[in-house]
């Protein structure tokens, strides 16, 4: 019997999307996240050097951007969980794992960032609750597949650059940005309409000033539900510069990939029963 179906797991099924309270809501012009506020956020390293982010979605898998792992020797990669301050080498809470398998979306287009999504199977299961826990972020449900989250505030997290030409942050940062409709992103920004595809979503201020930046790629864009749970609605994908006026951040739209995500994480234990089959 799968561990996910064991009576022990079902009876104590942990909740997703719940971290420790943080400050009100360096990413560009963001603020330091609270330690444990986004416990599912992981760092991805190459030869020990941090370069991308990701999010734990169940006990076995991390979701990230395809461009973060495309053409990369997986033997050189590390997945760092329970990290907050990258500048603290004495942090005993940190958990370093290796990727056992990487699945890149088969229709990922490197030049356009279309279908910029990948799942990474970890070399061992993470504890979702209890000692050393790594609670996962929630995925949208079947009822959300047509929800574009327009005008909602998305919170993006990462250790990326705090300025376009600046240094990466040592501590995990967060920033809130308004989610736009794709029509507005095509017609009211400096992007060409053909650049913004249905599998993408845009988030940012018209005047710029707040954004994800280099090093934040693959990290999560969150939406907080009325119940207080954090849902993964976007993956940091691309943008022109960082926090520039008229150039919001562009994210992979998670609701477009839910069936693919579930199909490629068959042995992962989710915090709730899977939604009914999509489509």
Same fold, 38-136+258-264 and 152-255: yes
Question: What is the model's pTM?
Answer: 0.87
Q: Is the pLDDT of residue 262 over 90?
A: yes
* The CATH number of the domain covering residues in 152-255: 2.40.10.10
pLDDT per position as a tens digit, 137-168: 999 998 888 899 999 999 999 886 655 545 66
pLDDT per position as a tens digit, 72-85: 999 999 999 988 77
Annotated domain spans of the chain: 38-136+258-264, 152-255
Q: Is the pLDDT of residue 215 over 80?
A: no
Confidence of residue 130 (pLDDT cuts 50, 70, 90): confident
Q: Is the pLDDT of residue 6 over 70?
A: no
- Going by CATH, does the domain composed of 38-136+258-264 fall within 3.40.50.720? no
Active site residues: 67, 116, 217
pLDDT per position as a tens digit, 111-125: 999 999 999 999 999
Average pLDDT over the chain reads: 84
State the first-to-last Cα distance of the chain, in angstroms, to the nearest integer. 28
Q: Cα separation of 235 and 114, whole Å?
A: 12
User: Do residues 16 and 141 make contact, with C-beta atoms less than 8 angstroms apart?
Assistant: no
- Tell me what pLDDT residue 267 has: 94
Averaged pLDDT, 187-195 = 96
- Considering only residues 162 and 48, tell me which one the structure prediction assigns the higher pLDDT: 48
Q: Is the pLDDT of residue 102 over 70?
A: yes
């Amino acid at each position: 019997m799968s561990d996910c179906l064991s009576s022990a797991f079902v009876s104590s099924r942990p909740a997703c999307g719940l971290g420790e309270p943080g400050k009100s809501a360096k990413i560009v012009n963001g603020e330091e996240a609270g330690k444990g506020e986004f416990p599912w956020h992981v760092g991805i390293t190459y030869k020990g050097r941090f370069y991308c982010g990701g999010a734990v979605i169940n006990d076995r898998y991390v979701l990230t951007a395809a461009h973060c792992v495309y053409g990369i020797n997986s033997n050189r990669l590390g997945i760092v969980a329970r990290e907050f301050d990258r500048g603290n080498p004495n942090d005993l809470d940190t958990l370093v794992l290796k990727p056992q398998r990487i699945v890149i979306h088969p229709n990922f287009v490197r030049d356009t960032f279309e279908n910029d999504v990948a799942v990474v199977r970890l070399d061992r299961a993470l504890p979702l609750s209890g000692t050393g826990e790594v609670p996962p972020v929630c995925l949208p449900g079947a009822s959300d597949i047509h929800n574009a989250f327009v005008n909602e505030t998305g919170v993006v997290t990462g250790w990326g650059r705090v300025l376009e030409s600046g240094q990466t942050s040592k501590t995990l940062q967060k920033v809130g940005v308004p989610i736009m409709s794709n029509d507005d992103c095509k017609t009211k920004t400096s992007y060409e309409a053909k650049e913004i595809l249905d599998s993408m979503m845009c988030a940012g201020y018209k005047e710029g000033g707040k954004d994800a930046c280099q090093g934040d790629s693959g990290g999560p864009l969150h939406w907080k539900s009325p119940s207080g749970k954090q849902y993964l609605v976007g993956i940091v994908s691309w943008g022109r510069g960082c926090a520039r006026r008229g150039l919001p951040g562009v994210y992979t739209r998670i609701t477009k990939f839910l069936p693919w995500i579930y199909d490629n994480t068959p042995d992962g234990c989710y915090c709730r029963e899977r939604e009914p089959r999509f489509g």
